[in-house]
Amino acid sequence: MQIDLRSDTLTHPSPEMREAMYRAEVGDDVYGEDPTVNRLQELAAEMVGKEAALFVPTGTMGNAAAILAHAGRGQAVIAGDKSHIYLFEGGGAALLGGSPITVVPNLENGMLDLTRLQASIRDESDVHEAPTALVCIENTQNLCGGTVLNEAQIAEIATITHTHNLKLHMDGARLFNAATALGVPVSTVTRNVDSVMFCLSKGLSAPVGSLLAGNKEFIQRANRIRKFLGGGMRQVGIIAAAGIVALEQMVDRLAEDHENLQLLAQGLAEVPQIDIHAEHMVTNILVFHVRNAQGQLGSEADAARFIAQVREHGVLLSGMGEGRIRAVTHYGIEHKQIETALKSIRQAAQKFTF
């Protein structure tokens, strides 16, 4: 049986989720009459410390709705160069909202380069430039290996953002992983942002769905945007029920994923053919490169060959571009499977050359 470490989107709903879905009380959510959705939204808003929340089908839709609600046509959005919003959401801000994205570098720890952030903000004084309306951050930072922005780092970004009368949105697809790694309530992580999106369908293991949260006025705008994006769902309490179980029962177990990730990272650090900064891996994502005897890092093609070779040994990994290889721990992956995966990866690495 294969051990699938490609993504935490591969999780299956727990037995409690399946039972809750079967028994869910439903209504028409477009009319605001689905009691299970309403309960989920209220629970989510309370947990992240915001006035209101909106259930959306996907994190990408949640981020798009946030951008469209915060920024008007021709207003610029700042995002990190390694951010999901910039790289992996189909250019939604520009395509749907007419908002150009201004890119600033993400540092190795996922933090935005504050000097470049300051320099990238534009007002309306120059007709040649799109004025900035919104800054977006990501927590945890996927491409940086699941790194976490702490409260002080977020506060630094928020101070710059709010000093310029801009809004700050957090793509918190794995927000609860960030809070778990920091050992703080999730509301502490979201305290200084104007809006936040988080996914139920990753580490929290629900089959589908994300939440967007902010103040009531923002959520009212986002609800209209959700409708024209095609996200107005009807008796959706059937899947919202799994989201409630996710928030009530699956948050504490994220620590298990982090422990398994540490076991995997430390084991990979002992393999000569693998280049990994295990000390940076603090949540459920790790990123590494293969390297040859001269210490050179492998190319994207080398990474693809290594992934294929590891697959032959029963372990599934994913490529992240530029020679990066990703492994993600999640619900359904246990300690013994990590040990088996390490043995398989070591065997593949010993045979690998480039």
Q: Is 267 found in the same domain as 135? A: no
Provide the domain count of the chain: 2
* pLDDT beyond 90 at 154: yes
Instruction: Examine the domain organization and report whether 46 and 132 are in the same domain.
Output: yes
Residue 294, domain member (yes or no): yes
Is residue 36 in a domain?
yes
Same domain, 91 and 223: yes
| In a shared domain, residues 170 and 286 | no
CA distance 338 to 336: 5
Which residues, including other chains, have CB under 8 Å from residue 237's CB and lie 6 or more apart?
Answer: 24, 25, 26, 27, 29, 34, 35, 36, 37
Give the Cα separation of 62 and 53 in Å (integer).
Answer: 11
Same-domain status, 259 and 278 = yes
Sequence-distant (≥ 6) Cβ neighbours of residue 281 within 8 angstroms: 145, 146, 261, 262, 265, 287
**Residue 332 falls inside a structural domain:** yes
Asked if residue 271 and residue 188 are part of one domain, the reply reads no
Which helix (H) or strand (E) covers residue 24, if one does?
A: none
Q: Tell me what the mean pLDDT of segment 70-88 comes to.
A: 96
Q: Would you say the pTM of this structure is higher than 0.85?
A: yes
**Residue 4 included in any domain:** no
Q: What is the pLDDT of residue 351?
A: 85
Among residues 206, 228, 249, which one ends one of the domains?
249
Same domain, 245 and 321: no
The pLDDT value recorded for residue 328 is: 98
- Taking only the tens place, the pLDDT of each residue in 92-102 is 888 888 999 99
Residue with tokens 């949640």: 62
The CA-atom distances, in angstroms, between 151 and each of 21, 42, 111, 160 are 35, 24, 12, 14
Q: Is residue 261 part of a domain?
A: yes
The phi-psi region of residue 322 (left if phi > 0; otherwise alpha if psi is between -120 and 50; otherwise beta) is left
Dihedral sign (CA 181, 186, 190, 195): positive
215 and 282 together in one domain: no
Tell me which of 211, 227, 249 is where a domain ends: 249
CATH number of the domain encompassing residue 270: 3.90.1150.10
The 10s digit of each residue's pLDDT in 304-342 is 999 999 999 999 999 999 999 999 999 999 999 999 999
- Kindly state whether residue 5 falls inside one of the protein's structural domains: no
Calculate the CA 257 to chain-centre distance: 15
Question: Final residue of a domain: which of 196, 217, 249?
Answer: 249
Residue 354 is predicted with a pLDDT of 81
Whole-number pLDDT of residue 114: 98
> Which of the 8 DSSP states describes residue 112?
B
pLDDT digits (tens, 9 = 90+) for 18-46: 999 999 999 999 999 999 999 999 999 99
pLDDT of residue 93: 83
User: Do 234 and 275 share a structural domain?
Assistant: no
Residue 19 shares a structural domain with residue 138: yes
Work out the angle between the directed axes of helices 254-269 and 175-182 (0-180°, nearest 10).
80
Largest CA-CA distance found in the chain, in angstroms, rounded: 64
**Tens digit of pLDDT for each residue in 179-228?**
999 999 999 999 999 999 999 999 999 999 999 999 999 999 999 999 99
User: Within this chain, do residues 198 and 338 fall inside the same structural domain, yes or no?
Assistant: no
Range of the structural domain that residue 330 is part of: 253-351
Residues 82 and 97 in one domain: yes
Q: Which tens digit of pLDDT belongs to each residue from 282-294?
A: 999 999 999 987 8
Whether residue 187 is contained in a domain is answered as: yes
Q: Is residue 2 part of a domain?
A: no
**Residue 352 structure tokens:** 């690998």
